[in-house]
Structure 1
Amino acid sequence: MEKPLVSIITPSFNCEKFIVETIQSVQNQTYKNWEMIIVDDCSSDQTVSIIKEISSQDNRIQLFQLDANSGTGIARNTALAKASGKYIAFLDADDLWKPLKLELQIDFLKKHNLPFTFSFYECIDEAGESLNRRIESPRNLSYRQLFFCNYVGNLTGIYDVNYFGKITVSSIRKRQDWVHWLTILKKIKTAQPVPESLAYYRIRENSISASKYELLRHNFSVYRIFHRLNLVTSILCMMGFLFTQILIKPGYSKKIKA
């Protein structure tokens, strides 16, 4: 019996330094029934030519190009419209999966009869070197916990289209992944992760993760724009977010023993 198809959503933009390794991490999956849908957002480097070369040798990889630079949300939604899998997974063009990622997650979904799961992940720097940090989450993640802190790495989330339908990515410019998982948790109330690290998240110099100010600014936008909260309530929510970051989340960001 053929295993269900997994559609992997990958936006790309000027990622010539990383895209080969990212695609190879998908090709190295022990779970083989997948399609990787890459939507390029008008790269000006060699990203597109690299993807074209690889996809010419592997028909599971599909490349689409936007006519104008439109942002990752439009790129992800364009890829989503092309997806035909039972499961939707996300992988940005500079992040990496471990070989057992899909196999373990699909088995976990089936074993526990779940429509959504995610996993722990590790952080690497721009050169691919380990930062000796693993991001974990509560074993039974609630909507309330997620409301104050995004425990779900975008590169780890996977959901069942038969249960949710295709969930359109938010038009909010940043923190789209957090909004995505909030939409899911609002429906299913709690989520369980595969309790091991299955991916590598690359922290780049210009990324939101590298700037605490940018992280706070965009998180505030989630409360104001997505949740449509007034200014005072949004400020109170940000205080709750900061409380979570300082007192709780460090317990889930663990150093990896050498």
Structure 2
Amino acid sequence: MLVSIITPCFNPDEKLIESIVSVQNQSFQDYEHIIVDDFSSKPMSAELLKIIELDPKIRLITRSWNGGAAVSRNRGIQEARGRFIAFLDSDDLWHPKKLELQVAFMEGNNIALCYSSYEVIDSRGKVLGTRTPPSEMTYTDILKSNQIGCLTAIYDSRIIGKVYMPNISKRQDMGLWLKILRMGHVARGIVSQPLGRYRVGHTSLSSNKLNVLGYQWAIYRRVEKLPLLPSIKYFSAYAWKGLRRKV
């Protein structure tokens, strides 16, 4: 039941070390950790390189040109050897039982796409709040509000094959969930406890919400190719829920 964990990075710092340690501390140890360096402009620190070199479960892939998060994640998916595909960004963290709980839940219920609740932390690791999605989400639910945190998502390639993210600058994870759910699957989550910690950047949450609205519109029109009126409907619902969310 090998799990392939995909971590894209660009000019990583000590936060990637924290992410790696949170993977190494998993109670479920049947995994490979694929770290894709997206043609960083500066070398990794000696400490980080040593950690990577000493861990046989880590596979470091260095790309020859900078393509962005979607390209790097897709390269990781392409290289993945595991049945389950999981995602962890270079500044996010996992609960020690994250993989154990989700893999057992997926196997026991034949789930194609699984997620969980997660905490939101600031750059120093202070918990700002918890995001708790519904226990089930359909294609239409995600169009209205993408509540699947990328750091919590796992999909089963035995059920749906390898599915890749659309090559867009932002919201590529939402594009992947929509691809999977468009096949007729329902995403299910472990929402009783947070299994990850998502780190927000230095800019304000309100600023981030406003900046991504253009990318959100592109999901509806360019990626999903929805007609204008449904796009307006889903975009309005998404913007309203997003702007009201505090963390």
Structure 1 and Structure 2 fold alike (TM over 0.5): yes
SS at match of 2:212: helix
CA distance in 2, matches of 1:91, 1:209: 24
Tell me if the contact between 2:32 and 2:58 (Cα under 8 Å) persists in the aligned partners.
Answer: yes
2:164 corresponds to which residue?
168
Tell me if the contact between 2:113 and 2:186 (Cα under 8 Å) persists in the aligned partners.
Answer: no
2:83 corresponds to which residue?
86
Residues 1:24 and 2:21 aligned together: yes
> Any unmatched runs of 5+ in structure 2?
none
2:102 corresponds to which residue?
105
- Per the TM alignment, residue 245 of structure 1 is displaced from its structure 2 partner at its CA by 3.7
Alpha carbons of structure 1 residues 48 and 218: separation in structure 2 relative to 1, 3 Å: farther
- Per the TM alignment, residue 50 of structure 1 is displaced from its structure 2 partner at its CA by 4.5
Which amino acid letter does the alignment assign opposite residue 115 of structure 1? A
Aligned residues: 246
Tell me if the contact between 2:112 and 2:187 (Cα under 8 Å) persists in the aligned partners.
Answer: no
Alpha carbons of structure 1 residues 208 and 170: separation in structure 2 relative to 1, 3 Å: farther
- Per the TM alignment, residue 100 of structure 1 is displaced from its structure 2 partner at its CA by 0.3
CA distance in 1, matches of 2:90, 2:241: 29
- Per the TM alignment, residue 246 of structure 1 is displaced from its structure 2 partner at its CA by 6.0
Alpha carbons of structure 1 residues 210 and 12: separation in structure 2 relative to 1, 3 Å: farther
1:238 corresponds to which residue?
235
Tell me if the contact between 1:115 and 1:159 (Cα under 8 Å) persists in the aligned partners.
Answer: yes
Aligned pair partner of 2:51 in 54, 74, 92: 54
- Per the TM alignment, residue 209 of structure 1 is displaced from its structure 2 partner at its CA by 7.8
Tell me if the contact between 2:116 and 2:189 (Cα under 8 Å) persists in the aligned partners.
Answer: yes
Residues 1:202 and 2:199 aligned together: yes
| TM-score, structure 2 as length reference | 0.92
SS at match of 2:27: coil
2:183 corresponds to which residue?
187
Tell me if the contact between 1:19 and 1:47 (Cα under 8 Å) persists in the aligned partners.
Answer: no
Aligned pair partner of 1:153 in 128, 149, 155: 149
- Per the TM alignment, residue 99 of structure 1 is displaced from its structure 2 partner at its CA by 0.3
Alpha carbons of structure 1 residues 239 and 25: separation in structure 2 relative to 1, 3 Å: same
Alpha carbons of structure 1 residues 206 and 69: separation in structure 2 relative to 1, 3 Å: farther
> Any unmatched runs of 5+ in structure 1?
none
Which amino acid letter does the alignment assign opposite residue 201 of structure 2? R
Alpha carbons of structure 1 residues 143 and 167: separation in structure 2 relative to 1, 3 Å: same
Residues 1:216 and 2:213 aligned together: yes
Which amino acid letter does the alignment assign opposite residue 39 of structure 2? C
* 1:141-200 CA-partner distances (Å, limit 9, x unpaired): 122111111110000000111111111121111101111111111223422101221000
Residues 1:39 and 2:36 aligned together: yes
Mean Cα deviation higher: 98-107 or 225-234: 225-234
| TM-score, structure 1 as length reference | 0.88
CA distance in 2, matches of 1:185, 1:209: 29
Alpha carbons of structure 1 residues 64 and 48: separation in structure 2 relative to 1, 3 Å: farther
Aligned pair partner of 1:138 in 134, 138, 141: 134
CA distance in 2, matches of 1:139, 1:68: 39
